[in-house]
Amino acid sequence: MTWRLALRDLWSSKLRLFLTGLSVVLGVAFVAGTFVLTDTINRAFDTVFSDANANTAVVVQSEEEIGQTREPLPAALLGRVQAVPGVQAAQGGVFGLAGIIGSDGKAVTTGGAPTLAGAWGTVAELNPFTLREGGPPTAPDDVVIDVSTAREEGFRVGDRIGIIPPSGRPEQFRVSGTAGFGDEDNLAGATAVLFSLPTAQRLLGLEGRFSDIRVLAEPGVSEGVLAGRVQAVLPAGVEAITGQQNAADQSEQLQDQLSIIRTALLVFGFIALFVGAFIIFNSFSISIAQRTRSLALLRAVGASPGQVNRMVLLEALVVGVAASIVGIGAGVLIAIGLRELFGAFGGDLPQAGLQLNARTIIVSLALGIGVTLLAALRPAIRASRVSPVAALRDEAPQEAPRALRRRLVSVSVFAVGLAALLVGLFAEVPNRLVIIGASALVLFVGISMLSTEIARPLARIIGAPFARLSVTGKLGRENAMRNPYRTAQTASALMIGLALVGLATIFAASLSASVKDTIEKRFDVSVVLRNEQFQPFSPAVAAALAREPGVGLVSQWRLGQFKQGRTTRDIAASDPAGIPQVWDLGVTSGAVAALRAPDTIMVSDDLASDQGLRVGSTIPARFARTGDTTLRVVGTYSETTFGDVLTGIGTYDRNFSPPRQDFLVFARPAPGATEAQVVEAGRRVEEQFPNVISQTKSEYVADVERQVNQLLNLVFILLGFAIIIAIFGIVNTLALSVFERTREIGLLRAVGLGRRQVRAMVRYESIIVSVLGGLLGLVIGVALGTLVVSRVPDVPVLSIPVGSLVVFLLLAAVAGVLAALGPARRASRLDILKAIQAE
């Protein structure tokens, strides 16, 4: 009987069923779509690398990998490997980065994917690339390029194109052929240029060395056995792994780089589900209030509180199961759309069938059903406590906790959430991000509970202008004030969405302001040269700039990585003589000039404080080239634009193998020269090196701000799903509210209220609820944004963009108008006589 009653109640309110389920569908779809997309990508890359390395039995490489960098091998090692029993053939390979000059004379951009370069394999079985047109590179000026780049740039076999090597000036080559990576036209959007071995070694600074050695086994010799034999002849620090393990490692590296995308998408999916929980809770609460009489009749004819409770939870279970199944299907469509979006931004992904794994189905169902049941639990308990006699008298069901008790619970939940958030932000605790995320959820629940206490006065204030405008405005305000509990819960979903938008806006604005403030105050430069894709470039750029008339100081900056114990750290390097002239790093002890000594570093105040370092301290360091060494601290500084560790260019060059490249170049005018001369010199160098751009300091700041805004726009798009769910929640509440007030609306129509006025009344109520949620959300967002910015050392400037926040509040009002369209239309079309007779 319980099942039949639950299904009957659900089916009797199809609109409530649809709107409640929709909030679950959207949240589950985001989570499922993320899993489907990432599982598809992972499977695709596993297949691509497995196929490309199918014939490679063993790979020989340096054992130590630091920041995805391995020390090259001596070329003489190839002969030793070839002599191992069971080796049919072996070849040395070289690989690195080199750009392509496109048909427009500019460097070909990849949207963040690398610009790969290497040697064409002469052993066909060991070559992961397959020729599509033309022939392999044999002459010193031959090059094979990837099929995608050839197609997009209009290059044909026999064309002359420019290649930008990691060191030196651009050179001209003849396209001898085009190739794909296995069956793919490129590797995840990366460009590829392949040369003969001697040419590749020269261009990539690997003369007499190989990046790795690949081995083809004789028939009947297993990979594992051959890897063991090869390992026996290798020197210390060099390892032999199976081809299968190498393919897995390559795929894992690429997947690790994409894992941040999965994490970000899952976070937004969970946010959408969290917002949806408020909608579900509100829908069931309203439904219980509207079904007081029917629930009382069930109690009167013998239904127990437990049966009523189970009936409501069964309704929630049906909604959760149905919505989760639909959400999984929608997630597949989202995955397809996201994959196409990747392609539109240049991130071509290998083609593979969509992967709908059991894990995706189980997690999606568990989340969708779990969130729905949890959200419906309290309304179910309230339903079970309906008194048959009191309900038959049309009295509202009373909750067990009194007002004072409810307030104490609300304050307690809020206090716990706030305390946990402060611990996550300010205390040194493990799993900081998990603590911050969980405490934020608790905090939002507490705020939602507390908002019930202020919903009525806020609705009165927000609706005051509408009440003065017309009678319908006054009626809309009274409706919003009538049930502050419902108004607060309806507004809570929108509150969460706009709180996160406000937080993201403040953080982005503060980041932009901090970057601008730092560059303007700390950097005394006229020109900045950099790569548009944030890749390193040739030191020849700095050399060419230094030869230009009017240019005085040229400061080159390089980046690398080393290991301190198990921790991989970034290290920046520049000429100590030029550092103080271009960058005020806020020296707190020691001196920059001391970096001229070998194996010396300066560390940030934060790192010094964490590890108890001071001038004269030493730290152990392991570099890919030189292995274990000791670095001596000669100073500390406060300004961390270039990270926590700084060294001189000499120390950098001793510990890092060629090709050594710059990631930024700064320039200042010579004595007697003007900034305009330096700017013009930068433009001339830019023409010589198409992979770099020359910017003035103000242009560089504006470009950084543009990049921050692009990231913020992406965050807004993702948070938009949560806000859309919140809007559906307002639609749901208004629709149920119109149903609840059918008789009241009929009486208003009977005494002369027109259809247009009814629609206006519902719109005013919706706007008040939306602005209430928006106002609370932005206040919370400002508070959270201020707290977060205060705990990020690299963002010292707090910036609150009042104009943007006001726009968001106005958009919340617009959302209210849109949310009211359907319910207002339904209210205005009620039959007056039937509405008056309704109970």
In DSSP notation, 486-533 reads HHHHHHHHHHHHHHHHHHHHHHHHHHHHHHHHHHHHHB--SEEEE-TT
Kindly state whether residues 808 and 716 are assigned to the same domain. yes
Considering the domain architecture, whether residues 690 and 818 belong to the same structural domain is answered as no
Residue 162 contacts by C-beta under 8 Å, 6 or more apart in sequence?
A: 100, 101, 170, 171, 172, 173, 690
Would you tell me the crossing angle of helices 755-790 and 432-469 to the nearest 10 degrees? 150
Q: How many other C-beta atoms are found inside a 10 Å radius of the C-beta of residue 442?
A: 18
CA proximity to 186, closest of 310, 346, 334: 346
Residues 540 and 591 placed together within one structural domain of the fold: yes
Supply the pLDDT for residue 400: 40
| DSSP symbol at 113 | -
Burial class (CB in 10 A: 0-12, 13-18, 19+), 582: buried
Does residue 293 form part of some domain? no
* The pair of three-digit structure tokens given for residue 619, joined into one six-digit string: 């730290």
Going by their DSSP bridges, the two strands 69-70 and 65-66 should be labelled as antiparallel
Tell me, yes or no, whether 417 lies in a domain.
Answer: no
Cα(726)–Cα(729) distance, rounded to whole angstroms?
5
Please, which residues have CB within 8 angstroms of residue 11's CB and are 6 or more apart in sequence? 17
- State the virtual CA torsion across 764, 769, 773, 779 in degrees, nearest 10: 60
- Verify that 79 and 143 share a domain, yes or no: yes
Which spans in 427-483 are helix H?
A: 432-469, 471-482
Q: State whether 720 and 734 are in the same domain.
A: yes
User: CA 491, CA 511: separation in Å to the nearest integer?
Assistant: 30
User: Residue 147 domain-assigned?
Assistant: yes
Q: Are strands 129-134 and 99-101 parallel, antiparallel or unpaired?
A: unpaired
Could you tell me if 487 and 600 lie in one domain?
no
CA distances for 631 relative to 188, 395, 575, 611, angstroms: 38, 78, 17, 14
Residues 146, 220, single domain; the answer is: yes
d(CA 618, CA 608): 11
Cβ count near 294 (within 10 Å): 14
Residues 167 and 195 in one domain: yes
Q: Do residues 477 and 768 make contact, with C-beta atoms less than 8 angstroms apart?
A: yes
Of the three residues 662, 695, 728, the one that is the final residue of a domain is: 695
Q: Is residue 399 part of a domain?
A: no
Buried b (16+ CB within 10 A) or exposed e, 156-189: ebeeebbbbbbbeebbebebbbbbbbbebbbbbb
Cα-Cα end-to-end distance for the chain: 26
Overall number of domains in the chain: 3
515 in a structural domain: yes
- Computed over its alpha carbons, how large is the radius of gyration of the chain? 33
Contact 163/178 with Cβ under 8 angstroms?
no
Residue 40 lies in a domain: no
CB 298 within 8 A of CB 310: no
Cis peptide before 659 (omega within 30 of 0): yes
> Which range marks the domain in which residue 502 is found?
452-523+698-839
C-alpha distances in angstroms, 416 versus 376, 403, 562?
A: 23, 20, 41
Strands (E) in 94-170, as ranges, are 95-97, 99-101, 115-119, 129-134, 142-146, 160-164
Note whether 204 and 110 are same-domain residues: yes
Q: Are residues 582 and 712 in the same domain?
A: no
Dist. CA 173–CA 377, nearest whole Å: 70
Q: Which two structure tokens, joined as six digits, stand for 659? A: 């090709």
- Predicted local distance difference test score (pLDDT) of residue 579: 93
Give the residue from 216, 236, 254 where a domain finishes: 254
Q: Spell out where 15-159 has E strands.
A: 58-62, 65-66, 69-70, 73-74, 87-93, 95-97, 99-101, 115-119, 129-134, 142-146
Q: Which of 821, 529, 569 is nearest to 696 (CA)?
A: 529
DSSP for residue 535: -
Contact present, 773 and 490 (Cβ < 8 Å):
yes
- pLDDT at residue 177 in the model: 95
CB 526 within 8 A of CB 675: yes
Q: What is the mean pLDDT of each run of 10 residues along the chain (839 residues)?
A: 56 62 78 83 73 84 82 92 94 90 86 83 88 94 93 93 90 94 73 93 92 93 93 93 85 72 75 76 70 67 74 80 88 80 58 78 88 80 68 46 70 87 80 79 84 87 90 88 81 85 87 84 90 87 93 93 90 94 92 94 93 94 90 94 92 90 93 91 93 91 82 76 77 74 80 86 89 90 89 83 88 86 82 68
Report the C-alpha gap between 138 and 134 in whole angstroms: 12
* CA dist 387 → 162, 392, 402 (Å): 84, 8, 16
> Which of 652, 678, 695 delimits the end of a domain?
695
668 domain residue, yes or no: yes
Q: Cα separation of 422 and 526, whole Å?
A: 42
Q: Are residues 680 and 540 in the same domain?
A: yes
- 3-class secondary structure, 55: coil
Are 555 and 646 found together in one domain? yes
Residue 821 lies inside a defined structural domain of this protein: yes
